[in-house]
Each structure stands twice: as structure tokens, then as C-alpha cells.
Amino acid sequence: MANATRTPSHKVFWIRDRGEGRKASWTEIGVGFVNRDGSVNLALNLVPLDGRVQLRKIEERKEKATKG
């Protein structure tokens, strides 16, 4: 697979509504890789039959620096 050595740039989530008054459930189901032409390839661990699928860019977490 061509993507095996590349670092993914996106995460793919499955979002399921859990009913009125309850928060939706988010499950990470795969990753995405941006191609040279700007298109995105997805590598999925499962394909959901209901709910929504969302592609989110992976961002590095910024650690809060605290000085005393």
C-alpha cells in the first residue's frame, strides 16, 4: 500500500446520535492522506451503515505553559 509509510493528515470519525438530550457518540474509524493534487485518500477500519462520517484535520496539541 502506498500510504503505509506516510503520516496521515486527517482522522475519520463515525458520529451516531444517541437520542434526544444525549450527546452524540464519536468513534474514530480511520485516517486520511492528502494527495499532491489536494484530493484525500481514506483508510477505513469499518464502514458505518448509519449516522454521519466526519473528516477532521489532525492538529498538534498545544501544551499550556504555566509560569509561577
Whether 68 is in a domain gets the answer no
For 22-65, write each residue's pLDDT tens digit: 999 999 999 999 999 999 999 999 999 999 999 999 987 655 55
- The answer to whether 54 touches 16, Cβ cutoff 8 Å, is no
- The answer to the question of residue 18 being in a domain is yes
The answer to whether position 7 is within a domain reads yes
What is the number of domains present in the chain? 1
Cβ atoms of 3 and 41 closer than 8 Å: yes
Range of the domain at 27: 2-57
Burial of 7 (0-12, 13-18, 19+ CB in 10 A): exposed
Which tens digits make up the pLDDT trace of 2-13? 555 578 999 999
Q: Which amino acid is at 22?
A: R
Predicted confidence at residue 67, as pLDDT, reads 52
Q: Record the pTM.
A: 0.74
Which residues contact residue 54 at a Cβ distance below 8 angstroms, ignoring those fewer than 6 apart? 12, 13, 15
The answer as to whether 25 is a domain residue is: yes
Query: Does residue 38 form part of some domain?
Result: yes
